[in-house]
Amino acid sequence: MSIVSTVEEQYPTLSRQERKVALKVIQSPKEVQKMTISSLAKTVDVSNATITRFVKKMGCTNFYNFKLQLAESPAPKAPVVSQTDTVADQVYNYYQKILSGTWERLYTDELQTAVNLISHARRVYLFGLGSSGYTAQEMTQRLLRMGIAAFSMTDTHVMYISGGIMQPDDVILAI
């Protein structure tokens, strides 16, 4: 896996300051590769120590090692948009890229475990706030169509109350 893929995968676990560094790496890996630790820190408005912690979380011993891994990473493929591409073609290509990236990160054993838990659950509760709440509602609809008793919760108080009525054979998916 390339270092940029590692950064994308680790992004949700990073601190707010480290996310600034991660975004710069994801958006401009070739530019970051040519920067010093101080110039990167100044560009993204963080300390040198933040960058040091960030590269260690990415599995690198130091910033120099991180830059070497960036250099070895394959260049991101720019979307090819021709004059004849319709908006539908562009949307299709975008989602193909997303699906390919998801497929590369998919752990089939863990997915099968999740499927088994959901399919054998008495009830499935999906918790989500904000846009994750919309995702929870959409997934609830899909589970209901499959004959699985599913309930989406998008309010923290309702989530808390629901916790009191759940049974050991219920499953919670928090998004």
The helix (H) or strand (E) run that includes residue 50 is helix 48-57
Pairing between β-strand 171-174 and β-strand 150-153 as defined by DSSP bridges: unpaired
The amino acid that residue 112 corresponds to is Q
Give me the pLDDT at residue 104, please: 80
Maximum C-alpha span of the chain: 58
Give me the pLDDT at residue 149, please: 96
Give me the pLDDT at residue 73, please: 77
Tens-digit pLDDT profile for residues 89-110: 888 988 888 888 888 878 899 9
Distances (CA, A) of 28 to 50, 149, 167: 18, 45, 48
Can you tell me the mean pLDDT for 53-57?
94
Q: What is the mean pLDDT of the chain?
A: 90
pTM score, whole prediction: 0.55
**Domains along the sequence of the chain with CATH:** 3-72 (1.10.10.10), 108-174 (no CATH)
